[in-house]
Amino acid sequence: MPTSAADIRRQYIEFFTEKCGHTEVPSSPVVPHDDPTLLFTNAGMNQFKDVFLGRGSRPFTRAVDTQKCIRAGGKHNDLEDVGRDTYHHTFFEMLGNWSFGDYFKEEAIAWAWELFTEVWGLEKDRLYVTVFAGDEKDGLEPDIDAENLWKKLTDIDHSHITRWDRKDNFWEMGNTGPCGPCSEIHYDSTPDKSGGHLVNLDDPDVIEIWNLVFIQYNRGDDGTLAPLPNQHVDTGMGLERIVRVLQGKNSNYDTDLWTPIFDLITKLTGASPYAGGLEDHTDIAYRVLADHIRCLVVAIADGGRPGSAGREYVLRRILRRGVRHAHQTFNVDGPLLYKLVPAVIETLGDVFPEISKNEKHITQVILDEEEAFLKTLDRGLELFDKAVQNGDGKSIDAKSAFTLHDTFGFPIDLTEVMAEERNLTVDRSGYELLMEEARETSRATTEDEMKMHLPPEVLGKLESLNINPTDDSPKFGRGVSVSTVKAIWNGKELVGKADDSMLFGVILNKTPFYAEQGGQVGDCGHLIREHTSDHSESDFVVEETHCYGDYVLHVGRVSGSSLQMGDSVNAIVREKQRVAIEANHTGTHLLNHALRATLGDDIQQRGSLVDKDRLRFDFSHSHAMTDDEIANIEQLVNNAINSDSIVDAKNVPLNLAQEIYGVRAVFGERYPDPVRVVSIGATVDALLENPTNKAWYECSVEFCGGTHVPSCDSVKHFVVQHEQALASGIRRIIALTGVAAMASHEAGTSLLKQIEEATKYSDDTLVSRHEELLRQVDELSISQTARHAANQQLKSLHNRVKSIQKNAASSRKDHVLEQARVISELKDSIIVATINGADKDSMMVALDAVRSKRPDGAVMLFTADEEEGKVIIVAGVSKTLISKGLKAGDWVRVAAGACGGGGGGRPDTAQAGGKEPENVPSAMDTASTFALEATT
């Protein structure tokens, strides 16, 4: 009997490859980027769905592997059970063997029994088997074939074979598609082997360890079943469970798969070693941390990352559950989870080498997420405690649960776990209402946008009127078509004509306009009706183009006579704008490819915008890009542009397109079948001739329904204007192509040349030019690399400018102090005088100098700059004169009013300003008169 998990995994693979003629296949990624219907790969058969659906094939008919699986969302979700019991996991390995139209029930059953009882030596009287009991609704008889084969081919105790209904023993891929009965093998680990009655009752002592699925039917769209022409076998056995059985443990967590992780948690936290308690809070936390870090490491290695939506949010929830336990249960102040990555690599790195390869990236992503959550964790826990104290003793109120989620980043399931620990519930229904209100607010758009939205009932009415979907295939052509107006929408109802300046939406039978989708903005242009009976021309100016269902809505306004149902129009896309959009779209593909080449394969697109004046690209990356990385991106893209790489597009069957090496797809997008493949650097036909050729990695190959330039030369040039953070782990690039990029490049080159020339300027010229150059850096539309280079060069000039300004200030101060010395020799108790060439700071120095010589008097000083139209006034009054009625604040206010300004201050010191230097003499007279009157 094997002793380690690695031995068990290896013996399973070798049994089916060496004895049973199976081909070993690698695990598919646990993050299924090519299957938007799945959150995560949750079963070994996921990578063979196309075979079972009859859409694909493999060069073998028998396969075996260990598949990475995550069940933490959607239909299959074990997240809530992790930690509470000893046999559920978010991540697990599924050992599996398959037959694609080859062997069937007889071989699958015989080999399963042989492996269990002869190779691994399991006690036969601890094994129980379930078979399908039949289903009257589907017209299915019990699976007598499987039951009889178990009795015929094995020496299992016949009383250990039981029949179960469709819920437990009939497997289906989905609502439709291949399906069939299954036969499960359960293991009784009770000390006295008395657990037979606990089969299928979720008892930890009697667990399912292998499921043999016999795929022999297809469920149609109408729900009926029909026999498949080819019968398949799909088996799945949880590695964690069979390791527990073969190592003689009572818990999955007691095996060597978990020991290194538990040991490291103990070392890092100083907690008591893991003891396996079901109710002990610390042991629960051990299981949660160990399970969750395995899940995170595997998912991130396969291109996943924590985020705010979809599978990314599932990973964020998992991470934050772990962080909460590290902080609250283990009393760890800073990040902890990222330090556990080496222990996961120790147990899984050999069998899944991508984990070891990406260790640095995995560690950084987890650390960044931990640090982000820790910033709000303590305040969130305080809010939770207040909600408990102020609540009704039974539940956490909806508002607190929503605030924990919305403000402090606590997933609702984390709040529920925390509540359960205190024997409380959460007002989930109230929370969901608040969440829906928040979603409605975020979905709010402008009145016109809402007005022109085509609601589902209108789409249904279009269908009932036999108005066919819009043929938008001309969008890939030259931007012109002769079309017929099929429907007009005024925002409230379908109407017969559009005849004034208000917004209308027009549906054509066919259109050359691209409707906004996939990140590319919709086309603008004209629908021109000519040759009417009154010889008038109608020009419907298309401002936006949107897609609703299968209809393209052209939104705009009529110029000229009305546009009516049935009119024939020349649909003309605004060519200049289309060309700019296409250049930006092709530039986006080149950018995506260059990012992968520069930053690594884990880069994933997270969003994009393709507009006429710029492109925007969001991607997964944990840190700001360096100047060298940005420069390399620009160089790679411009190399492709300068080499005039071919841009080719073609519709390809989805299963064939997915086989092209290096093809990129956006997670969450539902791609049609066939799908449009856009290739830069090779024709699509060349890709399909040899789809697994690794040379295609050097090409940009994406699934894309947008419009593109015919060749890269049309993109002209590419520059990155900004690279910035969008969210935790998500970066955003804003870039330019075409004429705008060329102008940006030239502006940046010119600016750098000006900065270089500035080093030769005289002191006076350099100070003024330095300010101007700083302004240009901020205002000019230049690339980020040029902006950074300019800032670096200006920094080298800054010290010189600072020295010049310091010397000038010192000279000004000396000049001002000399004037102050002369003024202080005046014999009057109230002095009103002017200072030449002073600024605000030196005026205060002069004021202090004069007051130090005349401590019992009052002083007001003026300085004027006629070129800039500025006056500065400062005043100081002694306590003696304050007691007589002269206050500095009142004094400067009167003086400033006489030269077009204002100000004020304390009784002893005040400042003011004016805008009329020419009125300074009269302002001085006014100030003198005011002071004399106040003190007499």
pLDDT in tens, 676-699: 999 999 999 999 999 888 888 889
Decide if 214 contacts 235 (C-beta within 8 A): no
pLDDT band at 54 (very low <50, low <70, confident <90, very high): confident
∠ CA 784-789-792, nearest 5°, is 125
| Of the listed ranges 51-55, 438-442, 736-740, 782-786, the one predicted with least confidence | 438-442
Cα–Cα distance for residue pair 246/117, rounded to 1 Å: 11
Which pLDDT belongs to residue 75?
A: 53
Cα–Cα distance for residue pair 513/574, rounded to 1 Å: 9
- DSSP 8-state symbol, 812: H
Dihedral sign for Cα atoms in the order 118, 122, 128, 131: negative
pLDDT band at 446 (very low <50, low <70, confident <90, very high): very low
Structure-block tokens of residue 931: 């002071």
Q: Distances from the Cα of 56 to the Cαs of 231, 458, 565, 774, 864, in angstroms? A: 15, 38, 46, 61, 86
| Strand ranges inside 562-667, DSSP E | 563-564, 568-573, 605-610, 615-620, 647-652
Decide if 89 contacts 82 (C-beta within 8 A): yes
Neighbours of 259 (CB within 10 A): 16
Q: Distances from the Cα of 433 to the Cαs of 416, 418, 539, in angstroms? A: 17, 21, 46
Decide if 218 contacts 228 (C-beta within 8 A): yes
Cα–Cα distance for residue pair 775/794, rounded to 1 Å: 11
Structure-block tokens of residue 634: 């620009």
Which pLDDT belongs to residue 447?
A: 43
Which pLDDT belongs to residue 535?
A: 46
Buried b (16+ CB within 10 A) or exposed e, 889-917: bbbbbbbbebbbbebebebbbbbbbbebb
| Strand-strand pairing, 504-508 and 551-560 | antiparallel
Residues 655, 657, 659, 662: what is their CA dihedral angle, to the nearest 10 degrees? -150
pLDDT band at 2 (very low <50, low <70, confident <90, very high): low
Compute the average pLDDT of residues 120-143: 94
**Which residue type occupies 424?**
L
Beta bridge partners of 563: 498
Q: What is the pLDDT of residues 60-79, one digit of tens each?
A: 999 999 999 998 865 555 67
208 versus 417: the higher-pLDDT residue is 208
pLDDT band at 445 (very low <50, low <70, confident <90, very high): very low
Cα–Cα distance for residue pair 498/427, rounded to 1 Å: 50
Q: Is the pLDDT of residue 924 over 70?
A: yes
Residue carrying the six token digits 């001739």 = 689
Longest dimension (CA), the chain: 128
Q: Is the pLDDT of residue 36 over 80?
A: no
Percent of the chain at pLDDT > 90 equals 54
Which pLDDT belongs to residue 812?
A: 65
Q: What is the residue-averaged pLDDT of the chain?
A: 88
304-308 contact pairs (CB < 8 A, 24+): 304/30, 304/31, 304/40, 305/365, 305/604, 305/620, 305/729, 306/365, 306/369, 306/728, 306/729, 307/606, 307/727, 307/728, 307/729, 307/730, 308/727
Coil/strand/helix, residue 914:
strand
Compute the average pLDDT of residues 149-174: 93
| Of the listed ranges 23-37, 154-168, 573-587, 730-744, the one predicted with least confidence | 23-37
Q: Is the pLDDT of residue 444 over 60?
A: no
Compute the average pLDDT of residues 315-323: 90
Three-state secondary structure readout of 66-115: EEEEECEECCEECHHHECCECCCCCEEEEEEEEEECCCCHHHHHHHHHHH
Q: 117, 87, 104, 96: which is closest to 143 by C-alpha?
A: 104
pLDDT band at 1 (very low <50, low <70, confident <90, very high): low
pTM for this predicted structure: 0.58
Structure-block tokens of residue 784: 């980020």
Q: Is the pLDDT of residue 665 over 60?
A: yes
Q: What is the pLDDT of residues 230-287, one digit of tens each?
A: 899 999 999 999 999 999 998 999 999 999 999 999 999 999 999 988 889 899 999 9
Q: Distances from the Cα of 550 to the Cαs of 248, 553, 568, 571, in angstroms? A: 59, 10, 21, 18
Q: Is the pLDDT of residue 436 over 50?
A: yes
Distance spanning both ends of the chain, measured CA to CA:
113
305 versus 346: the higher-pLDDT residue is 346
Q: Is 480 exposed, middle or buried (0-12, 13-18, 19+ CB in 10 A)?
A: middle
